[in-house]
Amino acid sequence: MTANEGSTVGGVPPEVVTFLSGKGGRSLIVKGGAGSGKTTFGLELLERVGQPNRSFYLSTRVGDEALYRQFPWLRTTEMRTRVLDAAKLFLDAINTGKTREPELPETEQKKIRAGRDVLGSFGQERGPPTRVDRTHLQALLKRSPMPEMENVYNRIERALPEKSLLVIDSLEGVTHKYGLEMEEIVMTLQKDLVEGSSTDVVMILEKPEAGGIEYLVDGLISIQREELDERRVRHLRLEKLRATNIGRARYAVTLNEGRFEALGIASARTTPATPAPWKPISDPERFYSTGIPDFDRLLGGGLRRGSFNAFEVDVNVGIDDYYMLFTPTFLNFLAQGRGIIAVLAAGESPEKLRETLIRHVPANQFDTRVRIPDYTANETEDPYILPMARFGREDAMRAMVTAEKAVSGAERKPFIEYTAFDTFESLMGDQVAIRMYFQGVARTKHVGNLGIGLLKPGLLVSSEILNMMDTYFRIINIDNAPCIYGIRPRTTIYAISPDPEKGAPHAILTPMV
């Protein structure tokens, strides 16, 4: 079994796809508390991993119409055939008086068994199954009729010798209905379908603990929901996937628009082989576009003209992660003939910034419209770097005035003032850094520039600076997925990722709901 063609970034973690794509059947338990997203995950498996006509979702908790209301994307004809309503299957069996297709004649069954015995005697591997093993189910049927389970067995048998995927939501729904022990139904599915009929079986639990049945199955996944700074966050944990390498044990996930999506999954398609020129996004009145349509919508149009905006970056967020947010803004300015003055943070490289941006705008545009003050350099051959260490105070001020004229050009266009305050504080102390910040804010508001302030953990200047900022965002890392949320204005948490259609440096924001 292979994942469906056209699967996009996110969706099901690749470890799970690999686990369910191996030879033979696999059993998987998915556990989690109420509202954690187990049902959504099971349905996502149906589409991402399952194949038409041989993947089935047996719902014992809600009817199919309730599922279609909650998950409208299931209404497509192809997906509707995969959803099996246990209540309807039960009624159909009663009305028809038929729970199972007729078996082959005993003479034919003897021939099949004899053929398999002969193959086994030669030490050859048996071929794929052509009949579903019902040994353990038959034992349960002696205690109580289970028409919906028999129906599922029949459907899987019709798909043989191809491998099927069965999602049962939930195990408790089956055990409570027929008075079974959890171990009994799990063992039945494991022996009959997984081991005997090469079927992948995913069993969803309604509770966060598996109750000691983990050892019966091949895989175990838990989904938890928690709060982070009064905002909802979901995690998927891969606790056990037999014979599968687990590259990442945890994923941040979202249920945005009724779809299950694991976040922070890299894809080769997100980095185009041939860089394309940046096509600028026009600025709404009184705003500058961030270059990210999702971010513009979140902000009500973009970042306000003449505003200074704080981005507090957590210690476990890498430069490449938060540059996914800033690069589109830089490009959107440069592509419109505007400039940038950037005081870079420790670890940020002027050369790498130039290399990144000139993939999408002309190199001479960067060299003439970008100035990067370097307070540790005495000299440089690069026109875009200001070697501030060789200047005294007055010369430094004159150099900055010259830089502002260069980036604004003859048209006196507004420009971005990107300031990493850890650089100012480490070189000049917190009081000087605060004074320079106040001067920068006044200049930004007067000229109508766009101020972007980068704050790192532990800075003494943070409290003073944040009180003056027009907006205040935090950039954090959740299970290897870079995320952003607003303190001012208050927003939910959004995952930052490359645009799956356009590729980097285009970015999208996905709400974590």
The tally of domains found in the chain comes to 2
pLDDT of residue 397: 79
Is 186 found in the same domain as 42?
yes
Stretch 249-271: mean pLDDT = 83
SS3 assignment, position 392: coil
Q: Which two tokens stand for residue 146?
A: 């289970």
**Which residues, other chains included, contact 297 with Cβ-Cβ below 8 Å and sequence gap of 6+?**
none
The model's pLDDT over 158-210, given as tens digits with 9 standing for 90+, comes to: 999 999 999 998 899 889 988 999 999 999 999 999 999 999 999 999 888 87
Is 281 found in the same domain as 183?
no
Is 235 found in the same domain as 331?
no
Q: Taking the CA of residue 186 as centre, how many other CA atoms within 13 Å lie in the half-sphere pointing to its CB?
A: 25
- Whether residue 128 lies inside any domain: the answer is no
SS3 assignment, position 238: strand
- Whether residue 79 lies inside any domain: the answer is yes
Span of 94-108, 144-158, 183-197, 269-283 with lowest mean pLDDT: 94-108
- Whether residue 152 lies inside any domain: the answer is no
**Last residue of one domain, picked from the residues 233, 265, 297:** 265
Is 442 found in the same domain as 308?
yes
Is 252 found in the same domain as 298?
no
Does pLDDT of 98 surpass 60?
no
Mean pLDDT of the chain: 84
Is 316 found in the same domain as 243?
no
- Whether residue 129 lies inside any domain: the answer is no
- Whether residue 95 lies inside any domain: the answer is no
- Whether residue 126 lies inside any domain: the answer is no
Stretch 337-354: mean pLDDT = 93
**Last residue of one domain, picked from the residues 248, 265, 282:** 265
- Alpha-carbon distance of 379 to 371, in angstroms, equals 14
Is 287 found in the same domain as 425?
yes
The model's pLDDT over 18-60, given as tens digits with 9 standing for 90+, comes to: 999 988 999 999 999 988 999 999 989 988 888 878 889 888 7
For a pLDDT cut of 70, what percent of the chain falls above it? 80
- Whether residue 109 lies inside any domain: the answer is no
Stretch 332-339: mean pLDDT = 96
Q: Taking the CA of residue 72 as centre, how many other CA atoms within 13 Å lie in the half-sphere pointing to its CB?
A: 2
Q: Taking the CA of residue 334 as centre, how many other CA atoms within 13 Å lie in the half-sphere pointing to its CB?
A: 28
Q: What is the CATH number of the domain that holds 505?
A: 3.40.50.300
- Alpha-carbon distance of 223 to 209, in angstroms, equals 11
Is 397 found in the same domain as 280?
yes
Amino acid identity at 352: K
SS3 assignment, position 100: coil
Helices within 308-428 (DSSP H only): 319-334, 350-357, 363-369, 393-408, 421-428
Does pLDDT of 422 surpass 80?
no
- Alpha-carbon distance of 111 to 126, in angstroms, equals 15
- Alpha-carbon distance of 36 to 45, in angstroms, equals 16
Confidence of residue 429 (pLDDT cuts 50, 70, 90): low
DSSP for 25-44, please give it. Answer: --EEEEEE-TTSSHHHHHHH
pLDDT of residue 392: 72
pLDDT of residue 102: 44
Which residues on neighbouring strands pair with residue 262, listed in sequence order? Answer: 253
Cα–chain center distance at 315: 21
Task: Tell me the helix, strand and coil percentages in the chain, rounded to 5.
Answer: 40, 20, 40
pTM equals 0.84
> Hey, what's the torsion of the CAs at 29, 31, 35, 36, to 10 degrees?
-100
Is 376 found in the same domain as 358?
yes
| Range(s) of the domain holding residue 392 | 271-511
Confidence of residue 490 (pLDDT cuts 50, 70, 90): very high
Which residue shows structure tokens 């001012």?
488
**Cα separations in angstroms, 181 against 152, 172, 194, 398:** 20, 9, 19, 81
pLDDT of residue 230: 93
Is 491 found in the same domain as 468?
yes
Angle between helices 421-428 and 430-447 (to 10 degrees): 140
pLDDT of residue 27: 97
Stretch 238-261: mean pLDDT = 94
**Last residue of one domain, picked from the residues 231, 265, 299:** 265
- Whether residue 318 lies inside any domain: the answer is yes
Is 360 found in the same domain as 217?
no
pLDDT of residue 2: 42
> For strand 450-455 and strand 308-313, is the pairing parallel, antiparallel, or unpaired?
parallel
Is 431 found in the same domain as 326?
yes
